[in-house]
A and B are shown apart, each in its own frame.
Chain A
Amino acid sequence: MKPTLLDNKGVPLERQKFTWRDLVQKPISKLDDDAYTRVRIILMNGIELEAHRFSHSAARMNKALQLPLAQIRRVEQHQATLINWLIGADHSPLETTIGYEQVAIDITAAVAMNEPDKYLAQVYRFGLLEDFDHMYRYSALLDRLEGKDANNILQSYTDILPGRPTIEEHRAPQDDLRRPYDRTKAAPLTKLHALTIMAAEQQTHNFYMNIGPMYSDPVARQLYAEIASIEEQHVTQYESIIDPEESWLEKWVMHELAEVYNYHGCMQQEVNPRIKAIWERFLDYELGHLHAALELFKEHERRDPAEILPETLPDPIPIASQREFVRETLAAEVDLCANGTEIVPKAQEGKASLAYRKEMNADGSPSETISAGYKWAPGSELKLKVA
């Protein structure tokens, strides 16, 4: 049964407790757990980190909200820790990267398929084909640097193919901004989609910025530098689709709602019972956060929560293989570009982006170098060479 948001108050904040032992639970098995369990872990870590990032920004701009923000943020800190620490240490940073790109592909594809706003669905498909290409480049790096098969992580759910070439994804900032949804008219699902994808992209950006310098190999260092730059563009794109006219408190409520929505979706779809129990526990915590934020919304803005909340949660984002949708999108839209806020055919791309790209690629392209002549094959490309 879908939670009725205004009736189910979840666990009150004062009962949301942790210990250090509780924060560090047994990690999942890289080999035995389903790839989408890892995808859910990465996604929910991103959702929590975005909530955290927003909360700090809000605190800097709203003196009256600093204490309640700090109280909820402390819990979210520990939720994010518990979730992120579920990734086992036998994942190399590059293998975890493959997991991050699987999130970016299959979650964004599911969002694009179900997004009611046609323009925003186009924006998601546009971003999707870029992350799809990153998977191909990182898979080449994993094979050619560590001698490993990315499909051990992907478990055959997600293709490893070139998408919109990363070398062509670099564009001027004015071509990364999109039109925002209208907060007064957009469907709740539209708002939840936007927050979810923005959260996933910002954590991916942060992750690449942190692990890029951990590699000794100059090719790997360059590839992470290049793709981190695209992830920064993606964060810019996805935060621009969120209506900037929402008040701080409205945005806070929507962040809490996005957490409720995604924990609920993860709980419904999780196949590992131990991890499912974590999603259930944190869904109850987030309902508590949502109601705390709603009380502040009513107190400070004198507005009715029904103005911004749906009665019940929309259907969850399906977390599953979207291979056919991605292949269809690839065939139809790989050559699209951006000009201002619009997604346009290649011939209409803005001059600023062309100039910026020429400048950045002047000394060569790491994403082209790492994948020169590369075709994924089961086990390794070396298998094709032996044959």
Chain B
Amino acid sequence: MQLTTEVGMNHSGMLAAEDGGEKMLENIELTRPPRGDERDLAKLRLDHAKDADPVGTLPEPQPEGIARVLMDKLGERLAFERSGARLYDALMVKCAADKSSGVPAKELRQIRDEEITHFALIGAAIEALGGDPTAQTPSADVAGVEGMGLMQVLNDPKTTVAQGLHAILVAEMVDNAAWDELIELTSQAGNEDLVARFTKARDEEQEHLEKVQAWYKAATMAAAE
């Protein structure tokens, strides 16, 4: 047993063990597993999937057809943009803690403010279509679950700027694809006014993505220097 924890001493792999993990490898030969294989899990999961209730429903009044899908997806975008602003809040703190990161605070704030503008834009669109922007739609709920890992990474004081930018990159890539989808749905629903507004927002999101990609690349390569 070592006497002190050495900085940079990763203990998670087998080669870090005193015997190089030889005793652990004996486990493979010693195991007499229960009969079956992973298909047993899949069968149980399938049984539950067939019997599952939905995440939830859209609030009243419930539109029909494409308008129904659009309303759910508007709810998702509203939730995502709102959470996105919070992700940038966290990234700004991370960059302030590491001045060497080279990520311009002013540009981060601008992106964060644009996320808030998009949040407001979607809220107004939901209202204009007769919906309730304070309600959480099923897709909004699921997007929140998806984003939990990103939030954890960005708010962990231990993670670096590069690691935080990687999390933001995940968010921005999804966000860009989602705006494209939203524009297509809005177009199919025949609302050209919203298509124009959403296209402007999507263009801004593309700029966010390009900036984040560049910052992420620079921060990652900086670690090699």
Contact = CB atoms under 8 A, between A and B. Distances in A.
A373 to B, nearest CB: 4
A378 B37 contact: no
A218 B5 contact: no
A33 interface: yes
B44 A151 contact: no
Contacts of B156: 89-90
A127 B13 CA distance: 29
Contacts of A384: 28
Interface in A264-281: 271-273
Contacts of A366: 44
A320 interface: yes
A155 B11 contact: yes
B11 A34 contact: yes
B93 interface: no
A232 B41 CA distance: 25
A376 B4 contact: no
B13 A372 contact: no
Interface in B184-222: none
Contacts of A216: 145
Contacts, number: 128
B2 A378 contact: no
A369 B28 contact: no
Contact of A376 (B1, B28, B152): B28
Interface string B89-118: 000000000000000000000000000000
A263 B96 CA distance: 39
Interface stretch (B15-23, B125-133, B172-180): B15-23
A369 B45 CA distance: 11
Interface in A237-290: 271-273
A28 B86 CA distance: 26
Given A89-B156, A376-B28, A271 B34 contact: no
Contacts of A35: 11
Given A369-B40, A370-B41, A376-B31, A271 B11 contact: no
A65 to B, nearest CB: 41
Given A144-B38, A272-B4, A374 B33 contact: yes
Contacts of B40: 368-369, 372-373
B3 A159 contact: no
B34 A372 contact: yes
Contacts of A88: 158
A229 interface: no
8 contacts: A88-B158, A90-B156, A161-B27, A369-B41, A372-B37, A373-B37, A377-B28, A378-B24
Closest 10 pairs (CB-CB, A-B): A372-B36, A156-B17, A373-B37, A218-B48, A372-B40, A152-B12, A375-B31, A272-B5, A368-B34, A156-B24
Given A216-B145, A372-B34, A374-B31, 17 more contacts: A31-B10, A32-B11, A35-B11, A37-B5, A136-B31, A151-B24, A155-B16, A159-B27, A160-B27, A161-B30, A219-B44, A271-B1, A323-B23, A370-B41, A373-B38, A375-B28, A384-B28
Interface of B: 1-14, 16-17, 19, 21, 23-25, 27-28, 30-41, 44-45, 48, 145, 152, 156, 158
Interface of A: 27, 29-37, 88-90, 136, 144, 151-153, 155-157, 159-162, 165, 216-219, 222, 271-273, 320, 323, 364, 366, 368-378, 384
